[in-house]
């Protein structure tokens, strides 16, 4: 158990978090089900095609299937007898050699090696639903054959996706075309989130002096859901160690269909009934050294339900106090209660953990030039919400209060409204100058840093 007496680097704490999670096992899931599910699934194994795509030579245009030997090589028009009519899904007849009226997607006759688009023929156009009426057609050789050859797109054994790839609509469609009915996928990680603090009230509840709305549990739930997790939002737990222990027991066991906030309001969970079996617990608040820091009180007490406790002071601003543990074997990431600190900590630690559980590679920070200068307190990695300019440079995101009366500090959650990234300024930098490259963690999801 770390006491937090020595500052831990950002990379060290990322490593400590990721050491507690591993990719979830893969299970076969029907394509029909995957097509209707929210995003967040990843492949648990490589996927290869089982069939040819297309499965037969098919017309790429509405027109006439012909044999090129019957058309002059110099492109002069020729008149051919119309000997058949082929449409997608219709029974295929053995037509004699000539010109076969054919629609896009229909199989090309075995003797044909080209399709001439109808608009390049004497017919001009086909009438939807109309009968075959022309007995002859005049047409000429074209530059393109307009035939989709059997297996030209996909062949059996072709690699369609690698383990860790996202299950996308394109993958579902191509897998279905290539003869697959299921995919080996990992389920979305199941994450429970809760906030701590006797001052918190449910949103929409009248706020009396000394109380504030519980925004943090909404923040964590929204972030976890957007990162591809199924989420149980518990809401707020008062600053009472026994209440927190009881809540952790309840949510880990999945005994209750909802939890209750500190003011008695019922909070529905967002995971499907019976879909618990949690993979990760995330709490916010109570991890420092104050008299009301209930998470720290639970972590410091002997309890057979508690294991692998790691309380750390991370060289990070904001987000210095952090803690890790397991509750009844479920990995528990305890974040600070300041909303900006919670947001930053989720992006740096929880997002990567969700990615690993889902079998994805966590997102990496990318270098971006700074549009202007800003100070950076030395000694800790300074995390600065930034927005990207059309030039590709980044500037500090500005809170509305900054524009009215100057900077208001790291607690200004409104700063996040204009941010599309988090700049990670190293501990040895005291000032970022215009043009300096800074590592920026994009806030487009899924979050992550590795």
Q: Do 356 and 342 touch, CB atoms closer than 8 A?
A: no
Domains of the chain (ranges plus CATH)?
A: 7-24+188-358 (3.40.980.10), 27-53+154-186 (3.90.105.10), 58-148 (2.170.190.11), 366-442 (2.40.340.10)
What is the rounded distance in angstroms from the CA atom of residue 244 to the CA atom of residue 298? 8
Between CA 362 and CA 348 the distance in angstroms is 10
Could you list the beta-strand ranges (E) of 6-71. Answer: 7-8, 26-30, 42-43, 47-48, 58-59, 63-66
Of 138-142, 251-255, 303-307, the poorest mean pLDDT is in 251-255
Please return the burial class of 164, using the count of CB atoms within 10 Å of its CB with bins 0-12, 13-18 and 19+.
Answer: middle
Q: What is the mean pLDDT of residues 271-275?
A: 39
Q: Cβ(362)–Cβ(449) under 8 Å?
A: yes
How many C-beta atoms lie closer than 10 Å to residue 56's C-beta? Answer: 14
pLDDT bin (cut points 50, 70, 90) of residue 259 is: very low
Number of Cβ within 10 Å of residue 307's Cβ equals: 12
Q: How confident is the model at residue 333 (pLDDT cuts 50, 70, 90)?
A: very high
Selected residue with higher pLDDT from 260 and 316? 316
pLDDT band at 90 (very low <50, low <70, confident <90, very high): confident
SS3 content of the chain, % helix, strand, coil (to 5): 20, 30, 50
At residue 316, what are phi and psi to the nearest 5 degrees? -145, 140
> By C-alpha distance, which of 255, 435, 249, 425 is closest to 344?
425
Q: What is the pLDDT of residue 406?
A: 44
More confident residue, 318 or 405: 318
Q: 208 pLDDT exceeds 80? A: no
For the residues 193-219, what does the mean pLDDT come to?
85
pLDDT(20) > 60: yes
Q: Which residue has the higher pLDDT, 441 or 204?
A: 441
Contact 313, 5 (CB under 8 A): yes
Task: Measure the CA–CA gap between 141 and 449, rounded to whole angstroms.
Answer: 57
What is the average pLDDT across 109-118? Answer: 97
| C-alpha–C-alpha distance, residues 402 and 385, integer Å | 13
Residue 358 has pLDDT above 60, yes or no: yes
Cα gap 28→46, rounded to integer Å: 12
pLDDT at 401: 55
- Are 238 and 246 spatial neighbours (Cβ–Cβ below 8 Å)? no
**Confidence label for 68 from pLDDT (cuts 50, 70 and 90):** very high
> CA 175 to CA 167: how far, in whole Å?
10
91 versus 65: the higher-pLDDT residue is 65
Q: Which residues contact 143 (CB under 8 A, 6 or more apart)?
A: none
22 pLDDT tier (thresholds 50, 70, 90): very high
* pLDDT band per the 50, 70, 90 thresholds, residue 445: low
pLDDT at 255: 61
Distances (CA, A) of 195 to 29, 92, 179, 313, 366: 34, 65, 47, 20, 31
Q: Is residue 389 very low, low, confident or very high in pLDDT (cuts 50, 70, 90)?
A: very high
Res. 288 pLDDT band, cuts 50 70 90: confident
Contacts of 293 (CB under 8 A, 6+ apart): 239, 285, 286, 287
Q: For the segment 165-176, what is each residue's pLDDT rounded down to a tens digit? A: 999 999 999 999
- Quick check: 273 and 231 in contact, CB under 8 A? no
Query: Tell me, what's the pLDDT at 444?
Result: 76
- Please check whether residue 395 is in contact with residue 421, taking contact to mean a CB–CB distance below 8 angstroms: no
Nearest-angstrom CA–CA distance, 383 and 378:
12
Please compute the mean of the pLDDT values over residues 203-216 and round it to a whole number. 81
The pLDDT of residue 267 is above 90:
no
pLDDT score at 416? 87
Q: What is the mean pLDDT of residues 382-402?
A: 87
pLDDT at 287 over 50: yes
Residue 2 tokens read as: 């770390």
pTM of the model: 0.82
Provide the pLDDT confidence category of residue 276 given band limits of 50, 70 and 90.
low
Q: What per-residue confidence (pLDDT) applies to 272?
A: 40
Average pLDDT, the chain: 88
């Amino acid at each position: 158990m770390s006491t937090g007496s020595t500052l831990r680097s950002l990379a060290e704490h990322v490593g400590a978090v990721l050491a507690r999670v591993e990719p979830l096992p893969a299970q076969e899931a029907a394509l029909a089900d995957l097509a209707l599910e929210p995003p967040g699934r990843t492949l648990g194994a490589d996927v290869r095609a089982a069939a040819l795509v297309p499965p037969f030579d098919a017309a790429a245009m509405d027109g006439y299937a012909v044999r090129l030997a019957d058309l002059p090589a110099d492109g002069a028009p020729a008149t051919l007898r119309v000997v058949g009519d082929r449409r997608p899904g219709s029974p295929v007849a053995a037509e004699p050699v000539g010109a076969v009226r054919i629609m896009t997607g229909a199989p090309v006759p075995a003797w044909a090696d080209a399709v001439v688009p109808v608009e390049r023929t004497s017919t001009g156009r086909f009438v939807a639903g109309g009968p075959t009426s022309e007995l002859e057609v005049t047409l000429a050789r074209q530059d393109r054959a307009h035939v989709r050859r059997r297996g030209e797109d996909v062949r059996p054994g072709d690699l369609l996706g690698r383990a860790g790839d996202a299950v996308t609509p394109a993958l579902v469609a191509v897998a279905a075309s290539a003869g697959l009915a299921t995919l080996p996928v990992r389920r979305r990680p199941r994450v429970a989130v809760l906030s701590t603090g006797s001052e918190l009230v449910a949103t929409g509840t009248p706020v009396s002096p000394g109380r504030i709305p519980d925004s943090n549990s909404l923040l964590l739930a929204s972030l976890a859901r957007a990162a591809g997790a199924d989420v149980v939002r518990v809401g707020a737990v008062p600053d009472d160690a026994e209440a927190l222990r009881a809540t952790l027991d309840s949510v880990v066991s999945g005994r209750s269909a909802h939890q209750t906030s500190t003011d008695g309001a019922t909070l529905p969970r967002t995971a499907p009934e019976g879909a618990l079996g949690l993979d990760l617990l995330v709490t916010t608040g109570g991890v420092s050294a104050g008299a009301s820091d209930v998470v720290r009180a639970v972590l410091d007490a002997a309890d057979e339900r508690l294991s692998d406790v790691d309380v750390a002071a991370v060289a990070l601003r904001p987000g210095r106090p952090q803690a890790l543990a397991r509750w009844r074997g479920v990995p528990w990431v305890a974040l600070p209660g300041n909303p900006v600190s919670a947001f930053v900590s989720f992006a740096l630690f929880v997002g990567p953990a969700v990615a690993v559980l889902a079998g994805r590679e966590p997102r990496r920070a990318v270098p971006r030039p700074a549009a202007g200068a800003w100070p950076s307190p030395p000694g800790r990695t300074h995390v600065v919400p930034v927005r990207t300019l059309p030039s590709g440079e980044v500037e500090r995101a500005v809170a509305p209060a900054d524009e009215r009366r100057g900077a208001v500090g790291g607690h200004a959650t409104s700063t996040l409204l204009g941010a599309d990234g988090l700049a990670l300024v190293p501990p040895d930098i005291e000032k970022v100058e215009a043009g300096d490259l800074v590592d920026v963690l994009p806030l487009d999801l899924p979050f992550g840093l590795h």
